[in-house]
């Protein structure tokens, strides 16, 4: 629970309420078991987990900062800095690579006019390479915003996806 004097904290009361709910799922003295959930809650609220949020979570869960960083850097669904509204990760592991995922990455680089790791000037798209998403039969696979899988992503399907996302933005 957030206490008086905690006004400098990066996360909202609601985020702490959700983190407390996660902590309550584990035995007394095992707050750190809620670390992945806490990082996910922070990312949902802020869009990324930077150094200050990382330290705050470490202190709240009574963990060493390095332990939180190890988790944060192991899972590539965590954003260490702000990303575009749509984070596109193309799997480049072997089964996807054998089905031309490198071509998909190169096509998206050219189409969006950015390099891997960059965000388009309008702040809409960030392009990343990802590790196996467990859907190798659908290769090449692309993951949108960590939770929406897109299969068999050739040039035509990539163009359709990007244009649908742009239109989605226009109707908001
Ligand atoms: S290798 Fe790409 S989803 Fe498994």
pLDDT band at 9 (very low <50, low <70, confident <90, very high): confident
Q: Cα(103) to centroid of ligand 1, in Å?
A: 15
User: 90 with 18, same domain?
Assistant: no
**Collapsed DSSP state (helix, strand, coil) of residue 90:** strand
User: 100 with 62, same domain?
Assistant: no
Q: For the chain, what is the domain count?
A: 2
Pocket flag, ligand 1, residue 15 (CB < 6 Å): no
Return the CATH number at 154. Answer: 3.40.30.10
Q: Cα(138) to centroid of ligand 1, in Å?
A: 8
User: 106 with 153, same domain?
Assistant: yes
Q: Cα(134) to centroid of ligand 1, in Å?
A: 6
User: 99 with 25, same domain?
Assistant: no
Query: Does 5 fall in a domain?
Result: no
Q: Per the confidence metrics, is the pTM higher than 0.85? A: no
Query: Which one of 41, 74, 107 terminates a domain?
Result: 74
Query: Which one of 74, 94, 125 terminates a domain?
Result: 74
Q: What is the mean pLDDT of residues 19-30?
A: 96
Q: Cα(90) to centroid of ligand 1, in Å?
A: 9
Pocket flag, ligand 1, residue 95 (CB < 6 Å): yes
Query: Does 32 fall in a domain?
Result: yes
Q: Give per-residue pLDDT as tens, 67-109.
A: 999 999 988 889 888 889 999 999 999 999 999 999 999 999 9
Q: Cα(133) to centroid of ligand 1, in Å?
A: 5
Where in the sequence is the domain holding 140, given as residue range(s)?
86-170
Query: Does 153 fall in a domain?
Result: yes
Query: Does 1 fall in a domain?
Result: no
Query: Does 129 fall in a domain?
Result: yes
Closest residue by Cα to residue 96 from 159, 145, 157, 153:
153
Q: Give per-residue pLDDT as tens, 26-78.
A: 999 999 999 999 999 999 898 899 999 999 999 999 999 999 999 999 888 89
Pocket flag, ligand 1, residue 77 (CB < 6 Å): no
Query: Does 149 fall in a domain?
Result: yes
Pocket flag, ligand 1, residue 133 (CB < 6 Å): yes
Query: Does 110 fall in a domain?
Result: yes
User: 96 with 150, same domain?
Assistant: yes
- Output Rg (C-alpha) for the chain, integer angstroms: 18
User: 41 with 117, same domain?
Assistant: no
Q: Which atom of ligand 1 is nearest to the CA of 140?
A: 2
Query: Which one of 40, 74, 108 terminates a domain?
Result: 74
Q: What is the pLDDT of residue 55?
A: 95
Q: Report the interhelical angle of 65-74 vs 51-60 (nearest 10°).
A: 120
Query: Please, how many CA atoms are within 13 Å of residue 25, restricted to the half-sphere of its CB?
Result: 11
User: 146 with 111, same domain?
Assistant: yes
User: 67 with 90, same domain?
Assistant: no
Pocket flag, ligand 1, residue 47 (CB < 6 Å): no
Q: What is the pLDDT of residue 27?
A: 96
Query: Does 81 fall in a domain?
Result: no
């Amino acid at each position: 629970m957030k206490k008086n004097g905690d006004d400098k904290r990066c996360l909202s009361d609601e985020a702490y309420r959700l983190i407390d709910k996660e902590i309550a799922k584990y035995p007394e003295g095992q707050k750190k078991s809620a670390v992945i959930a806490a990082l996910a809650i922070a990312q949902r609220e802020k869009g990324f987990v930077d150094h200050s949020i990382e330290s705050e979570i470490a202190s709240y869960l009574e963990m060493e900062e390095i332990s939180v960083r190890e988790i944060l850097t192991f899972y590539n669904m965590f954003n260490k800095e702000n990303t575009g509204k749509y984070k596109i990760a193309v799997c480049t592991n072997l089964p996807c690579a054998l089905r031309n995922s490198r071509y998909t990455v190169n096509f998206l680089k050219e189409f969006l006019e950015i390099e891997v790791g960059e965000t388009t000037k309008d702040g809409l798209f960030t392009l990343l390479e990802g590790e196996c998403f467990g859907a190798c039969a659908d290769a090449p696979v692309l993951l949108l915003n960590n939770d929406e899988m897109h299969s068999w992503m050739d040039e035509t399907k990539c163009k359709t996806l990007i244009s649908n996302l742009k239109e989605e933005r226009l109707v908001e």
